Structure 1
Amino acid sequence: MENLNDLLQVDPSATSRQLPKGHILQHPGDVKARKFYVKKGLVRSYIIDSKGKEHIFMFAPEGWIIADIESLEYQKPSTLFIDCLEDSELIVFAKDILSQKNVSKEMVIRYTDRLYRRMGALQRRVLMMMSAPAIDRYNYFLETYPELPERIPQRMIATYLGITPQALSTLRTKMAQSKLS
């Protein structure tokens, strides 16, 4: 995000927080949802279904913003867990930044464009989860998060892809073998 200072001027209540790996920022049911800008570290959002199975919604490395958008937009209790996968430095925003009076038209346009790009990526991911083979989902993961395979456990990548860790291991082996051929 090229203009973090602009955002901090728009929301003077924003705070910087240093949080350890494993810290849970938000639980399902929380009623005061916030946005988190990842200045350093790695954060994820996920749910745990009624059978106790974890489903990762997204990862947020440096420069990304993560939030429970439905909770923020509709003032509903949150549905997502948000936690730190690494020691992280976050900027926490409590306000709807773009609705503030002192936001320039250019800033609204710039961040609306970013929002649409992220929504497009999310739409693509949902469609891929419904219909694409695991190899295509994995390639999309690598395209979206090129630095993450070295930073997170394989089981989390598998969870994000909707496959088992064993299936991911098999997929990675086949991909490595096809590159050698």
Structure 2
Amino acid sequence: MQSESLRPIVDTLVRNGVDPASADKFVSFCGQQSYPAKTTIFGEGDNLPPILFVLSGYLRLYVTDEEGNISTRLVAGPGEFVACVYATLYDQLSHFTCECITDCRVGVIDQHVMREIKQKDKNRLLMQGLFISRLIEMMQEKSLMLPLKATDRYLFFRERYPELIKRIPSGIVANYIGVRPQSLSRIKQTLK
């Protein structure tokens, strides 16, 4: 394997049904990159955005509406894949912006590698299943959280991401759980 530091990618792929030899081969095409906090790795409308595997740090995917308002759709940390699923599977433009919340180190799988992988039906199905299951997890998390009252949404997030809650700006947490930063400050004060 190219680097032992990419071993978590192999382990994740194997846990999701990829045979070890194929996982090792897949990782041999991966690069590594480090980014400082607040770096945009890819943006909405970018062609062929990479697939990322978070080795350390935290990323978020967000969308921007016509008025310039940001809506955080996914927060990801070590051991998680981050990608624009539609762009990856169907060669479309990115629907999301991917930004580093903290300093990050990621495994990078570019779209040229993904095109080769998608040529083989078995690999395509495995990767499609992996990304679709991540998309479903993201949607389920939001659907479980959003009907809750604001304080309960914060508690849900805090329980789900205990390390993250200490490391990312409150504004990102507020955006992800769907409250204003001032409301989040009040929630935190009442929980002390």
**Bucket of the pairwise TM-score, normalised by the shorter protein:** 0.7 to 0.9
Alignment of 1:91-110 (within 5 A): 91-94=107-110, 95-96=113-114, 108=126
**Structure holding more helix per residue:** 2
Question: Partners of 1:117 and 1:23 in 2: how far apart?
Answer: 23
TM-superposed CA distance for 1:175, in Å, is: 2.2
Question: Partners of 2:88 and 2:134 in 1: how far apart?
Answer: 19
1:137 to 149, 153, 169: 153
Question: Partners of 1:50 and 1:127 in 2: how far apart?
Answer: 27
Whichever residue aligns with residue 172 of structure 2, its letter is M
Question: Partners of 1:175 and 1:98 in 2: how far apart?
Answer: 48
1:40 to 56, 64, 73: 56
Contact 1:68 1:80 in 2 (8 A): yes
Any gaps of 5 or more consecutive residues in structure 2?
Answer: 1-5, 11-19
Contact 1:21 1:87 in 2 (8 A): yes
Question: Partners of 2:39 and 2:137 in 1: how far apart?
Answer: 29
2:9 maps to what in 1?
4
Taking structure 2 as the reference length, the TM-score comes to: 0.75
CA 1:135/1:152 → structure 2, altered by over 3 Å: closer, same or farther?
same
Contact 1:10 1:100 in 2 (8 A): no
TM-superposed CA distance for 1:100, in Å, is: 7.2
2:142 maps to what in 1?
125
Taking structure 1 as the reference length, the TM-score comes to: 0.79
**Runs of 4+ displaced beyond 3 Å:** 5-8, 95-101, 111-118
1:41-88 C-alpha deviation (Å, 9 max, x unpaired): 221111121111111111111111111112212221111110112221
1:5-43 C-alpha deviation (Å, 9 max, x unpaired): 454522432111122222211011111022101111221
For these two proteins, the number of residue pairs brought into alignment is 171
Whichever residue aligns with residue 123 of structure 1, its letter is Q
2:3 maps to what in 1?
none
Identity, in percent, stands at 25
1:179 maps to what in 2?
none
Any gaps of 5 or more consecutive residues in structure 1?
Answer: 177-181
- RMSD after superposition: 3.0
Contact 1:8 1:14 in 2 (8 A): no
